[in-house]
Protein backbone atom coordinates (compact mmCIF):
# COMPACT_ATOMS: atom_id res chain seq x y z
CA UNK A 1 0.00 0.00 0.00
CA UNK A 2 1.17 3.56 -0.68
CA UNK A 3 2.65 5.55 2.20
CA UNK A 4 0.13 7.67 4.10
CA UNK A 5 1.34 10.80 5.92
CA UNK A 6 0.21 11.74 9.44
CA UNK A 7 1.03 15.02 11.17
CA UNK A 8 0.04 15.41 14.83
CA UNK A 9 -0.02 12.12 16.74
CA UNK A 10 -1.40 13.37 20.08
CA UNK A 11 -4.34 12.15 22.14
CA UNK A 12 -6.55 11.69 19.06
CA UNK A 13 -4.06 11.49 16.18
CA UNK A 14 -1.94 8.87 18.01
CA UNK A 15 -4.61 6.17 18.28
CA UNK A 16 -5.99 7.01 14.81
CA UNK A 17 -2.54 6.65 13.21
CA UNK A 18 -2.07 3.47 15.18
CA UNK A 19 -5.29 2.03 13.70
CA UNK A 20 -3.96 2.78 10.20
CA UNK A 21 -0.79 0.82 11.03
CA UNK A 22 -2.94 -2.04 12.35
CA UNK A 23 -4.90 -1.99 9.07
CA UNK A 24 -1.67 -2.42 7.11
CA UNK A 25 -1.02 1.13 5.92
CA UNK A 26 2.57 2.28 5.79
CA UNK A 27 2.93 5.60 7.61
CA UNK A 28 5.22 8.63 7.52
CA UNK A 29 4.80 10.65 10.73
CA UNK A 30 5.65 14.11 11.97
CA UNK A 31 4.91 15.73 15.33
CA UNK A 32 6.73 18.55 17.16
CA UNK A 33 6.89 16.21 20.14
CA UNK A 34 9.56 13.47 19.71
CA UNK A 35 7.87 11.65 22.61
CA UNK A 36 4.62 11.38 20.63
CA UNK A 37 6.48 9.92 17.60
CA UNK A 38 8.47 7.33 19.58
CA UNK A 39 5.89 4.51 19.59
CA UNK A 40 5.51 4.92 15.82
CA UNK A 41 9.25 4.69 15.19
CA UNK A 42 9.22 1.49 17.28
CA UNK A 43 6.45 0.09 15.06
CA UNK A 44 8.41 0.79 11.88
CA UNK A 45 6.76 4.01 10.67
CA UNK A 46 8.95 6.50 8.85
CA UNK A 47 9.72 9.56 10.97
CA UNK A 48 9.98 12.89 9.12
CA UNK A 49 11.68 16.13 10.17
CA UNK A 50 8.90 18.48 8.97
CA UNK A 51 5.40 18.51 7.47
CA UNK A 52 6.99 19.20 4.06
CA UNK A 53 9.05 16.03 4.37
CA UNK A 54 5.89 14.02 5.12
CA UNK A 55 4.26 15.62 2.07
CA UNK A 56 7.22 14.57 -0.05
CA UNK A 57 6.79 10.94 1.02
CA UNK A 58 3.00 10.61 0.85
CA UNK A 59 0.22 11.46 -1.61
CA UNK A 60 -2.36 11.59 1.17
CA UNK A 61 -1.53 13.41 4.42
CA UNK A 62 -3.81 13.37 7.46
CA UNK A 63 -3.44 16.03 10.13
CA UNK A 64 -4.74 16.09 13.73
CA UNK A 65 -3.64 19.36 15.32
CA UNK A 66 -4.77 21.53 18.23
CA UNK A 67 -5.75 24.93 16.80
CA UNK A 68 -6.63 26.72 13.52
CA UNK A 69 -3.34 28.68 13.67
CA UNK A 70 -1.30 25.48 13.91
CA UNK A 71 -3.28 23.89 11.05
CA UNK A 72 -2.58 26.97 8.90
CA UNK A 73 1.12 26.89 9.84
CA UNK A 74 1.52 23.14 9.19
CA UNK A 75 -0.35 23.33 5.86
CA UNK A 76 1.02 26.56 4.44
CA UNK A 77 3.85 27.81 6.68
CA UNK A 78 7.17 28.68 5.04
CA UNK A 79 9.36 25.98 3.50
CA UNK A 80 8.36 23.41 6.10
CA UNK A 81 4.63 23.44 5.25
CA UNK A 82 2.76 20.57 3.58
CA UNK A 83 2.21 22.79 0.54
CA UNK A 84 5.92 22.46 -0.27
CA UNK A 85 5.94 18.66 -0.36
CA UNK A 86 6.70 17.08 -3.73
CA UNK A 87 4.21 14.17 -3.60
CA UNK A 88 1.14 15.36 -1.72
CA UNK A 89 -2.16 15.44 -3.64
CA UNK A 90 -4.64 15.48 -0.76
CA UNK A 91 -4.67 16.82 2.83
CA UNK A 92 -7.30 15.48 5.23
CA UNK A 93 -7.84 17.61 8.34
CA UNK A 94 -9.09 15.57 11.30
CA UNK A 95 -8.75 18.54 13.69
CA UNK A 96 -11.54 20.79 14.88
CA UNK A 97 -10.59 24.10 13.34
CA UNK A 98 -13.80 25.79 12.21
CA UNK A 99 -15.02 26.53 8.69
CA UNK A 100 -12.98 29.74 8.32
CA UNK A 101 -9.51 28.20 8.30
CA UNK A 102 -10.79 25.22 6.27
CA UNK A 103 -11.93 27.49 3.43
CA UNK A 104 -8.74 29.59 3.58
CA UNK A 105 -6.31 26.66 3.57
CA UNK A 106 -8.36 24.71 0.98
CA UNK A 107 -8.20 27.74 -1.35
CA UNK A 108 -4.43 28.14 -1.03
CA UNK A 109 -3.73 24.41 -1.48
CA UNK A 110 -6.01 24.33 -4.54
CA UNK A 111 -3.71 26.85 -6.25
CA UNK A 112 -1.03 24.12 -6.10
CA UNK A 113 -3.51 21.41 -7.18
CA UNK A 114 -3.59 19.89 -3.71
CA UNK A 115 -7.04 18.80 -2.54
CA UNK A 116 -8.49 19.41 0.93
CA UNK A 117 -10.89 17.34 3.00
CA UNK A 118 -12.39 18.52 6.30
CA UNK A 119 -12.89 15.55 8.51
CA UNK A 120 -13.39 16.52 12.15
CA UNK A 121 -14.22 13.63 14.43
CA UNK A 122 -16.22 13.07 17.61
CA UNK A 123 -16.06 10.31 20.17
CA UNK A 124 -12.98 11.16 22.22
CA UNK A 125 -9.85 9.14 22.85
CA UNK A 126 -11.93 6.02 23.58
CA UNK A 127 -13.61 6.26 20.17
CA UNK A 128 -10.26 6.96 18.47
CA UNK A 129 -8.77 3.80 19.99
CA UNK A 130 -11.80 1.62 19.23
CA UNK A 131 -12.45 2.95 15.71
CA UNK A 132 -15.94 4.11 16.69
CA UNK A 133 -15.63 7.84 16.02
CA UNK A 134 -18.26 9.88 14.22
CA UNK A 135 -16.25 11.04 11.20
CA UNK A 136 -17.77 14.12 9.51
CA UNK A 137 -16.51 14.68 5.99
CA UNK A 138 -16.81 17.53 3.52
CA UNK A 139 -15.04 17.34 0.16
CA UNK A 140 -15.87 16.73 -3.51
CA UNK A 141 -18.01 13.58 -3.87
CA UNK A 142 -15.41 11.90 -6.07
CA UNK A 143 -12.70 12.36 -3.43
CA UNK A 144 -15.08 11.03 -0.78
CA UNK A 145 -15.43 7.80 -2.74
CA UNK A 146 -11.65 7.45 -2.93
CA UNK A 147 -10.91 8.00 0.76
CA UNK A 148 -13.96 6.20 2.21
CA UNK A 149 -12.27 2.78 2.74
CA UNK A 150 -9.33 4.32 4.62
CA UNK A 151 -11.49 6.70 6.67
CA UNK A 152 -13.72 3.83 7.78
CA UNK A 153 -10.72 2.70 9.88
CA UNK A 154 -11.67 5.52 12.28
CA UNK A 155 -15.42 4.94 12.63
CA UNK A 156 -18.73 5.82 11.04
CA UNK A 157 -18.62 8.31 8.17
CA UNK A 158 -21.08 11.17 7.58
CA UNK A 159 -20.89 13.07 4.30
CA UNK A 160 -21.68 16.70 5.21
CA UNK A 161 -21.37 18.37 1.80
CA UNK A 162 -18.89 19.37 -0.87
CA UNK A 163 -18.06 22.90 0.32
CA UNK A 164 -14.92 23.24 2.50
CA UNK A 165 -15.95 23.87 6.11
CA UNK A 166 -19.35 22.12 6.08
CA UNK A 167 -18.16 19.24 8.26
CA UNK A 168 -16.41 21.74 10.54
CA UNK A 169 -19.70 23.57 11.09
CA UNK A 170 -21.38 20.26 12.03
CA UNK A 171 -18.56 19.47 14.44
CA UNK A 172 -18.72 22.90 16.12
CA UNK A 173 -22.47 22.50 16.60
CA UNK A 174 -21.90 19.13 18.29
CA UNK A 175 -19.07 20.36 20.51
CA UNK A 176 -20.96 23.39 21.73
CA UNK A 177 -23.76 21.04 22.79
CA UNK A 178 -21.32 18.64 24.50
CA UNK A 179 -19.69 21.54 26.41
CA UNK A 180 -23.11 22.97 27.32
CA UNK A 181 -24.02 19.56 28.75
CA UNK A 182 -20.82 19.59 30.85
CA UNK A 183 -21.54 23.07 32.20
CA UNK A 184 -25.25 22.54 32.93
CA UNK A 185 -24.60 19.10 34.47
CA UNK A 186 -21.86 20.57 36.70
CA UNK A 187 -24.32 23.21 37.91
CA UNK A 188 -27.10 20.80 38.82
CA UNK A 189 -24.69 18.28 40.35
CA UNK A 190 -23.15 20.96 42.59
CA UNK A 191 -26.64 22.05 43.65
CA UNK A 192 -27.80 18.46 44.30
CA UNK A 193 -24.74 17.53 46.35
CA UNK A 194 -25.04 20.75 48.37
CA UNK A 195 -28.65 19.81 49.11
CA UNK A 196 -27.41 16.48 50.50
CA UNK A 197 -28.04 14.15 47.55
CA UNK A 198 -25.51 11.41 46.86
CA UNK A 199 -23.74 12.29 43.58
CA UNK A 200 -23.92 8.73 42.22
CA UNK A 201 -27.63 8.45 43.05
CA UNK A 202 -28.34 11.78 41.34
CA UNK A 203 -26.41 10.72 38.20
CA UNK A 204 -28.30 7.40 38.15
CA UNK A 205 -31.64 9.24 38.48
CA UNK A 206 -30.78 11.67 35.65
CA UNK A 207 -29.56 8.82 33.43
CA UNK A 208 -32.93 7.12 33.80
CA UNK A 209 -34.77 10.42 33.22
CA UNK A 210 -35.21 13.15 30.64
CA UNK A 211 -32.13 15.17 31.67
CA UNK A 212 -29.60 12.54 30.58
CA UNK A 213 -26.84 13.72 28.26
CA UNK A 214 -23.24 12.94 27.28
CA UNK A 215 -21.90 14.41 30.55
CA UNK A 216 -24.22 12.38 32.80
CA UNK A 217 -23.79 9.19 30.78
CA UNK A 218 -20.05 9.32 30.18
CA UNK A 219 -17.97 12.19 31.61
CA UNK A 220 -19.32 12.26 35.18
CA UNK A 221 -19.30 8.47 35.78
CA UNK A 222 -15.90 8.06 34.11
CA UNK A 223 -13.84 11.06 35.18
CA UNK A 224 -15.60 13.20 37.81
CA UNK A 225 -17.31 10.88 40.32
CA UNK A 226 -14.06 8.78 40.59
CA UNK A 227 -12.11 12.09 40.90
CA UNK A 228 -9.67 11.24 38.08
CA UNK A 229 -10.44 14.27 35.87
CA UNK A 230 -8.78 12.49 32.95
CA UNK A 231 -11.43 12.30 30.25
CA UNK A 232 -8.78 13.16 27.62
CA UNK A 233 -9.91 16.50 26.19
CA UNK A 234 -8.11 19.72 27.11
CA UNK A 235 -9.97 22.77 28.48
CA UNK A 236 -8.11 24.98 25.99
CA UNK A 237 -9.37 22.88 23.06
CA UNK A 238 -12.96 22.87 24.29
CA UNK A 239 -12.77 26.65 24.77
CA UNK A 240 -11.46 26.96 21.20
CA UNK A 241 -14.36 24.88 19.82
CA UNK A 242 -17.05 26.84 21.66
CA UNK A 243 -15.44 30.18 20.79
CA UNK A 244 -15.26 29.21 17.10
CA UNK A 245 -18.91 28.12 17.17
CA UNK A 246 -20.18 31.32 18.81
CA UNK A 247 -18.06 33.44 16.44
CA UNK A 248 -19.41 31.59 13.39
CA UNK A 249 -22.96 32.07 14.64
CA UNK A 250 -22.32 35.78 15.28
CA UNK A 251 -20.91 36.20 11.78
CA UNK A 252 -24.11 34.68 10.37
CA UNK A 253 -26.39 36.82 12.55
CA UNK A 254 -27.53 33.90 14.70
CA UNK A 255 -27.54 34.96 18.38
CA UNK A 256 -26.32 32.28 20.82
CA UNK A 257 -27.27 33.20 24.36
CA UNK A 258 -26.50 29.82 25.93
CA UNK A 259 -23.43 29.41 23.70
CA UNK A 260 -22.03 32.71 25.01
CA UNK A 261 -22.49 31.56 28.63
CA UNK A 262 -20.82 28.21 27.90
CA UNK A 263 -17.88 30.04 26.33
CA UNK A 264 -17.47 32.17 29.47
CA UNK A 265 -17.57 29.08 31.72
CA UNK A 266 -14.77 27.56 29.67
CA UNK A 267 -12.82 30.83 29.84
CA UNK A 268 -13.20 30.74 33.65
CA UNK A 269 -12.11 27.08 33.79
CA UNK A 270 -9.09 27.86 31.61
CA UNK A 271 -8.13 30.86 33.77
CA UNK A 272 -8.48 28.81 36.97
CA UNK A 273 -6.95 25.45 35.93
CA UNK A 274 -4.99 26.21 32.74
CA UNK A 275 -5.50 25.40 29.05
CA UNK A 276 -3.90 21.95 29.43
CA UNK A 277 -6.21 20.85 32.24
CA UNK A 278 -8.79 18.21 31.34
CA UNK A 279 -12.08 19.91 30.47
CA UNK A 280 -13.88 17.92 33.18
CA UNK A 281 -12.36 20.63 35.46
CA UNK A 282 -15.49 22.63 34.59
CA UNK A 283 -17.07 20.61 37.42
CA UNK A 284 -14.28 21.70 39.79
CA UNK A 285 -15.15 25.36 39.16
CA UNK A 286 -18.72 24.66 40.27
CA UNK A 287 -17.45 22.64 43.23
CA UNK A 288 -15.38 25.61 44.38
CA UNK A 289 -18.28 28.00 43.98
CA UNK A 290 -20.68 25.69 45.81
CA UNK A 291 -18.17 24.51 48.42
CA UNK A 292 -18.86 20.82 47.70
CA UNK A 293 -17.15 17.77 46.16
CA UNK A 294 -19.03 15.79 43.48
CA UNK A 295 -17.78 12.28 44.22
CA UNK A 296 -19.23 8.82 44.41
Does 11 sit near ligand NAD (CB under 6 A)?
Answer: yes
What minimum distance in Å lies between the beta carbon of 124 and ligand NAD? 4
Residue 65 binds ligand NAD (CB under 6 A): yes
Site map 32..61 versus ligand NAD, x via CB under 6 A: xx--x-------------------------
171 is a catalytic site residue: yes
Options 29-37, 156-164, 176-184, 199-207: segment touching ligand NAD (CB under 6 A):
29-37
Q: 31 or 104, CB closer to ligand NAD? A: 31
Stretch in the footprint of ligand NAD (CB under 6 A) among 67-75, 103-111, 159-167, 203-211 = 67-75
- Binding of residue 122 to ligand NAD (CB under 6 A): yes
Q: What is the dihedral of CA 250, 256, 261, 265, to 10 degrees?
A: -60
Residue 121 lies near ligand NAD (rule: CB under 6 A): yes
Binding mask of the shown chain, residues 124 to 143, with x at each position contacting ligand NAD by CB under 6 A: xx------------------
Q: Among all residues, which ones are annotated catalytic? A: 171
Amino acid sequence: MAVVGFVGVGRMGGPMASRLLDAGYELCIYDVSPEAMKPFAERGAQIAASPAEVASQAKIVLISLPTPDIVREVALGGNAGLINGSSVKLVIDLSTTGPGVAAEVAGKLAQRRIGWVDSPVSGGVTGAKAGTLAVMVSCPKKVYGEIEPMMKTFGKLFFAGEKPGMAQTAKLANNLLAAAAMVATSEVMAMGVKAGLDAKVLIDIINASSGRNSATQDKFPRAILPRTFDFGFATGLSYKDVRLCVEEAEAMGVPMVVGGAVREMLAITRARFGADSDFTHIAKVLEEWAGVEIKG
